[in-house]
Amino acid sequence: MKKSINTLAIITSAPHKVIDGSYYSYAPYIRQINVWTKYANKIIVIAPRDTNNDSDEMTLVYNKAIDYVEVKAFNITSISNILRTLVLSPFISYKIFKVMKSSDHIHMRCPCNMSLLGAFVQLLFPSKPKSVKYAGNWDYESKQPWAYRMQQNILKNTYLSKNIKLLVFGEWKNATANMKPFMAATYSNNERVPFSIRDYSKKLKFVFIGNFVSGKRPLLTINIIEKLRYYNIDAEIHMFGDGPLMSEATSYIEENDLSKFIFLKGNQSREVIKDCLKDTHFSILPSKSEGWPKAIAEGMFFGAIPIATKISCLPWMLDEGQRGILIEKDLNSAVKVILEYIDKDDDYLNGMAKSAMEWSQIYTLEKFDEEISKMLVK
């Protein structure tokens, strides 16, 4: 009879805070990690503590009690921080060693500062089962911070890193034997909806879901819709999210009188976003870099044709343009490609939308749970 593992060790840089004896962290991290913790009797988490007492981002709690091992947060973004890191590293590495030694399964969340140290320490436990969730862009030909590249080199080296399942987003050329394509999920089986034919000859509804930060390029998204309208495309966009670029986006919309077709919704509940996606024609995310483009997968789940840049695992997700529109990172090229697709007939576009939906609806929360249980339940 299969049974759960006894002790699961989790190495992460996600900051934690304690309230009334319960540990909280970032909602996306907790939602995923709570699936892993279901299959272990004891959980040890080694991570920095959240030092911002006013932080409202530590929103979710672990679904079971954990043993928390606190470490100092560190980074290598300046000379002074590098010197501080050199001092802290031996002490943090020793704590990681102790946590790994006392566990039956080691789980690391990469790429991050903690997992950089963890990548070295795990070499001392070649026989212990390990899983690594690499949440960043695995594309080995893309520009990466040296610390990320070092983690990739260590973890994919099957001579150095033994007994590891390396979970990456997408399928890649020259993948090593320990690499496994692994998808995240947002929706359950019971949230699947049948495909609904859309009319692409009238007003086109676009959706943007993401933080208003430079990496997600919300201002470029606004410019794309603005230029589509210049070419007499009746387009509107609903933009969900918030961040430091929100005020700039708001000012630009007001100054250029765009508020009749560009709607800034801010942060909204999961249900509000889901309802909006159900009759959306296109989901757009022209970001600079992605690990798992969650917003694109969510739009595909409800039949919205994805529009995304040719980065990370997106060409694989969109089947090289068969179930979505791949664009370049500049405005004119992006608009040119989108116009070419909009000019196609409704049968073609509905076929693309249906293909996108069918692909995305494979990756439900139940599927995610099933794949994790295969790794942890023996």
Element (H, E) at 93: helix 79-101
For tokens 């980065």, name the residue: 311
Residue range 368-372: average pLDDT?
A: 92
Least confident of 103-107, 121-125, 312-316: 312-316
27/171 same-domain check: yes
102/232 same-domain check: no
Per residue in 201-220, pLDDT tens? 999 999 999 999 999 999 99
54/196 same-domain check: no
- Neighbouring-strand partners of residue 42: 7
260/196 same-domain check: yes
CATH number of the domain residue 73 falls in: 3.40.50
Residue range 329-344: average pLDDT?
A: 95
- Please tell me the predicted confidence (pLDDT) of residue 61: 83
DSSP code, position 348: H
240/149 same-domain check: no
Stronger pLDDT, 253 or 293, i.e. the higher one: 253
Give the number of domains in the chain.
Answer: 2
What gap in Å lies between CA 210 and CA 37, rounded to an integer?
A: 28
CB atoms within 10 A of CB 73: 16
236/88 same-domain check: no
Question: What does pTM read for this prediction?
Answer: 0.88
- pLDDT-based confidence at 239, cuts 50/70/90? very high
Q: Is pLDDT at 53 greater than 60 in this prediction?
A: no
178/317 same-domain check: no
CB atoms within 10 A of CB 278: 12
* Domain region containing 237: 189-360
158/204 same-domain check: no
Least confident of 72-86, 105-119, 146-160: 72-86
Residue range 68-86: average pLDDT?
A: 85
285/162 same-domain check: no
| pLDDT cut 90: percent of the chain above it | 73
331/260 same-domain check: yes
- pLDDT-based confidence at 58, cuts 50/70/90? low
Residue range 83-99: average pLDDT?
A: 92
177/213 same-domain check: no
- Please tell me the predicted confidence (pLDDT) of residue 287: 92
CB 239 within 8 A of CB 284: no
Least confident of 47-51, 53-57, 231-235, 358-362: 53-57
Residue range 181-198: average pLDDT?
A: 92
198/115 same-domain check: no
Query: Measuring CA to CA, which residue among 264, 259, 235 is closest to residue 247?
Result: 264
Per residue in 265-277, pLDDT tens? 999 998 999 999 9
CATH number of the domain residue 279 falls in: 3.40.50.2000
- Please tell me the predicted confidence (pLDDT) of residue 13: 93
What does pLDDT average to over the chain? Answer: 92
| pLDDT cut 70: percent of the chain above it | 97
